[in-house]
Structure 1
Amino acid sequence: MSTQREVDEAKIRLQIDNIVEGIRAKDLEGLKQLYAADVVSFDVEPPLQHVGVEAKLKNWARAFTFFQDLRYEVRDLTVTVGGDVAFGHCFGRLSGTLMNGTTTSGMWVRATFCFQKIDGNWLVAHDQVSVPFDIASGKGVADLEP
């Protein structure tokens, strides 16, 4: 018999799968259903934070304009569940064919997701995506592999 924590973890992992599928399909409406209305996102693109689901979706819409088709891969996902909050972390990679026909393998980023159970649904309340940087040069390091 599964515990509530195991059931919730399975639901959160399904939400991550739904995010991946939404990205691959460039499905902004589908993605909107996966984020809390007041989500705070610390993404790799400026500004320092994107506040609210509409700001998060604008960020995805901007990313989608660069690709004819795209893929998103999640690796090494770890999820920790509490009562009505949970967090997870993983490596993610956005890749595909750019609008000019060039194929890109993308780069691996570090991602953290914080979920909140709202009206029975696990929604992303906060996410952060980052790349390591070289302290001496101040530049991001985008060629690392998990």
Structure 2
Amino acid sequence: MTTTAHDAIRQQVGKIVEGIQAKDLDALRRIYAADVVSFDVEPPLQHVGVEAKLKNWARAFTLFSEVRYEVRDLTLTVGDDIAFGHCFGRLSGTLGDGTATNGMWVRATFGFRKIEGAWLIVHDQASVPLDMPSGRGVVDLEP
């Protein structure tokens, strides 16, 4: 566990924020491993491969004329070539019709692997708590 590895991974998370806010799929592509597996909040149960992950982001970007992404409480555990982190994330902004939205907070988990000297995301998961009696996601919680 080294400070430089922690810093490099935090920089990668910062690049996620920048890429999302710029709606820059090429920038996001450089952060994910080619074989990334993503468990996102929308179907299907998993998105496999960087193209599937980017397709998911592209769909999200079509909803927004301006998009913001916020990360809170990022915690990392770093080994020599494997790391994981968790945080809260919120996608918000202005929708295509001009409506401002505060979005919703999700629980986010990242798995990183050091590949050819770069920390890349090999797994991510975004989720919301479930209200068991109704079977619906709870999307109005704040961290």
Q: Is the structural similarity TM-score above 0.5?
A: yes
1:88-111: CA deviations, max 9, x gaps?
000000000000110000000000
Q: Which runs of 4+ in 1 moved over 6 A?
A: none
Identity, in percent, stands at 71
In 2, Cα distance between the equivalents of 1:141 and 1:30? Answer: 31
CA positional deviation for 1:114: 0.3
Q: TM-score, normalised by structure 1?
A: 0.97
1:20-73: CA deviations, max 9, x gaps?
000000000010000000000000010000000000000000000000001000
- Amino acid paired to 1:38: D
Among 65, 68, 72, the alignment partner of 1:68 is 65
The aligned residue for residue 7 of structure 2 is 10
The aligned residue for residue 18 of structure 2 is 21
Unaligned runs of 5+ in 1: none
The aligned residue for residue 45 of structure 1 is 42
The aligned residue for residue 119 of structure 1 is 116
Unaligned runs of 5+ in 2: none
- Amino acid paired to 1:74: V
User: Once superposed, what is the RMSD of the aligned Cα atoms?
Assistant: 0.6
**What is the number of residues matched between the two proteins?**
143
